[in-house]
Structure 1
Amino acid sequence: MENIVMERKYTADEYYAALEWIRERSELINGGIDYMPTPNIRHQQILLALSSQINAYLSARGSGFFVLTSADVKLDDNNIVVPDIFVASDRSKLDDVKFNGAPELIIEIASDTPSDEYFKKLVLYKETGVREYWIVDPKSEKITLYFFEAERFAESFGFGETVNVAIFGQDDPLAINLAQTV
């Protein structure tokens, strides 16, 4: 199922008011409402494996970072995304409904249907201050990492390879290998 995009442009306030009648998963991207497909089982298994590894790493180190899954992130007044996973350090940006601002890391797990949403989000995340963006593709079993603050821009890894989370530094990096958990 491909994302469906509403033609009219909305603000964040209008989007939240519309959620009362929109009974589907959706995001506000550049003022347009995008409906998202329901995640399949494989998607959820990958989400759980990644978020569990990240959360265990953060809990063991008391780093101040925290991880949330499938929660609203208000990047600005025209963009509210619901990434599969995001990692942030500034708890003051949390309210009862959403995270306000750009988290340090966003991870998206690709749906079965190819879409331009990941390219749109790549540009959006870079422009709004996200430091690192991952696209996890279950079909090809690849993870593509985009580093918006580093000298290198992108790297791809297979599920059997170890991926280090760059935002935590190189002294004690979080190393993720999806082949071991999915």
Structure 2
Amino acid sequence: MTPERFVKLPPLENGDRLTRAEFECRYAAMPHLKKAELIEGVVYVSSPVCVIHSQPHADFMTWLGVYRAATPGVACYDNPTVRLDADNEPQPDAVLRLEQGGTSRISDDGYLEGAPELVVEIAASSASYDLHDKQRVYGRNGIQEYIVWRTYSQRIDWFYLEDGEYKPQFPDAAGILQSRQFLGLWLAVNALLAGNLAEVLQTLQQGIATPDHQTFVETLRFSIPKA
């Protein structure tokens, strides 16, 4: 019998059906792999990232990072592994969560567990599993807001969870989408699609300057445990 320490694990491959424990074990054995996900017990391994994905990703992270800087008690993550349930361990492009009093936590080994309040994905098209299997998983696990940027059709979908189902949120007359979970998180949709990051951040600053955001910050401050 081959000693256990010499057993070589097979690599993760698209379509593999694994438990979460098996998935994590194989993922850990592939340090060169940058992104893999377990969705409904099925493995999805990402292809190399092209600029049509990486540029929108960078813009989203800048937008969320500026909001985090102005909102103590809110945490922002880039490509975190999220342990949602026994069959689902996605790796969203971006996550925004409450550090205290939310529905997710940091595990002892440094992973996100539970449902963060807001998740962002960059998708090629409506055919992507981001808008099908993964969307159902996110809704079932209670992620309150879900944003998808379809890069080929140049469309941004912002969903909010109501009665266990995602519903689309539409921009106001000025073309701005506003978060329901993170007050003051405003997104100038057309400016983002046009690559006008300066206008995106200017609009965000307007949201951050609102009384609603200040009230939200005060609420978060009271939720932070005293040292």
TM-score > 0.5, shorter chain as reference? yes
- State the secondary structure of the residue aligned to 1:144: strand
List alignment gaps of at least 5 residues for structure 1.
none
Q: 1:174 aligns with which of 185, 189, 206?
A: 185
Q: 1:34 aligns with which of 27, 30, 44?
A: 44
Counterpart Cα distance in 2 of 1:106 and 1:152: 13
Offset at residue 105 of structure 1 (A)? 0.5
Q: 2:122 aligns with which of 109, 115, 129?
A: 109
Alignment of 1:116-131 (within 5 A): 116-131=129-144
Higher RCO (C-alpha 8 Å, min separation 6): 1
Alignment of 1:43-54 (within 5 A): 43-54=53-64
- CA offsets, 1:38-70, max 9 Å, x none? 2211321211111111221221132x1111011
Say whether the 8 Å CA contact 1:137–1:143 is kept in structure 2: yes
Match of 2:210 in 1: none
- Check if 1:94 corresponds to 2:106: yes
Offset at residue 77 of structure 1 (A)? 1.7
Say whether the 8 Å CA contact 2:125–2:153 is kept in structure 1: no
Task: Please say which of residues 50-59 and 130-139 is displaced more in the overlay.
Answer: 50-59
Counterpart Cα distance in 1 of 2:170 and 2:46: 25
Offset at residue 82 of structure 1 (A)? 0.5
Match of 1:67 in 2: 76
Aligned length: 172
> RMSD value over aligned CA atoms?
2.6
Say whether the 8 Å CA contact 1:142–1:156 is kept in structure 2: no
- CA offsets, 1:98-154, max 9 Å, x none? 201110001100137943342111111110010011110122221111111379811
List alignment gaps of at least 5 residues for structure 2.
1-12, 199-227
Distance verdict in 2 for CA 1:58–1:20, change over 3 Å: closer
Say whether the 8 Å CA contact 1:143–1:156 is kept in structure 2: no
Match of 1:140 in 2: 153
Match of 2:203 in 1: none
| Identical residues among aligned pairs (%) | 24
- Check if 1:155 corresponds to 2:169: yes
Match of 2:68 in 1: 58
Say whether the 8 Å CA contact 1:146–1:153 is kept in structure 2: yes
Say whether the 8 Å CA contact 1:39–1:111 is kept in structure 2: no
Q: 2:26 aligns with which of 18, 26, 32?
A: 18
Choose 1 or 2 for highest CA Rg: 2
The alignment's TM-score, normalised by the length of structure 1, stands at: 0.82
Q: 1:165 aligns with which of 158, 179, 204?
A: 179
Say whether the 8 Å CA contact 2:81–2:111 is kept in structure 1: yes
The alignment's TM-score, normalised by the length of structure 2, stands at: 0.67
